[in-house]
Amino acid sequence: MFKLKVDKTEHKILKERLAIVETPKYKYVITDDKTQVEEDKINIVFNHADIPKISSLLDLIVKGEELYITGYNEFGQKSVESRNFQYFIVDGDDLVGVLHDTRLIIRMKLYEVEELLQDKDFIRVSKYCIVNIGKIDYIRSALNSKLDLLMKNGDHCEVNRSYLKDFKTALML
């Protein structure tokens, strides 16, 4: 998504401090040298002193606008930023949003949530479940050619065979 165009000696340090992953299909050029701007890309020219600002700007670029989803549980109603959800799963007639420690019942259909989260690095892994890629801790390959996702809260989600291809595509940068 990014291309960092700086002095070679500073490249590694800046890359770490800005916490960026450079990709061949980059949209943004980040540089401290005006001459290195690229015409068909979004160019961010910065001074070294502005690194914290650039970093939060990058957060905004990558993570996008915050999106709050409202759900409720026995303690009442809550609005939670979408990136905090581990996954969404259909439980009987309810759609449940699973957080690290708690679960919220969401008054929406699964496909509505899916549409809502389409730019937010969530991925449908089965007919009943949408997973937050950022909350996957480890992917296990099961013997029945399914995938078992270990989430950061310790829960397991299964990637169904028919969603396998989409899941792998979603992991590509």
Q: Which residues bind another protein (CB under 8 A)?
A: 1, 19-21, 23, 58-59, 62-63, 121, 133-134, 136-141, 143, 147, 168, 170-173
Closer residue to another protein in complex, CB, 45/62: 62
CA distance 157 to 89: 9
φ and ψ at 55, to 5 degrees? Answer: -60, -45
Closer residue to another protein in complex, CB, 28/95: 28
Least Å from the CB of residue 1 to another protein = 6
Least Å from the CB of residue 173 to another protein = 5
Least Å from the CB of residue 81 to another protein = 14
Closer residue to another protein in complex, CB, 51/133: 133
Contacts 24+ apart (CB under 8 A), 40-46: 41/3
Least Å from the CB of residue 169 to another protein = 10
Look at residues 66, 69, 51, 73 and name the one whose alpha carbon lies nearest to residue 4: 51
CB under 8 Å to 112, separation ≥6 — which residues?
none
Closer residue to another protein in complex, CB, 90/150: 150
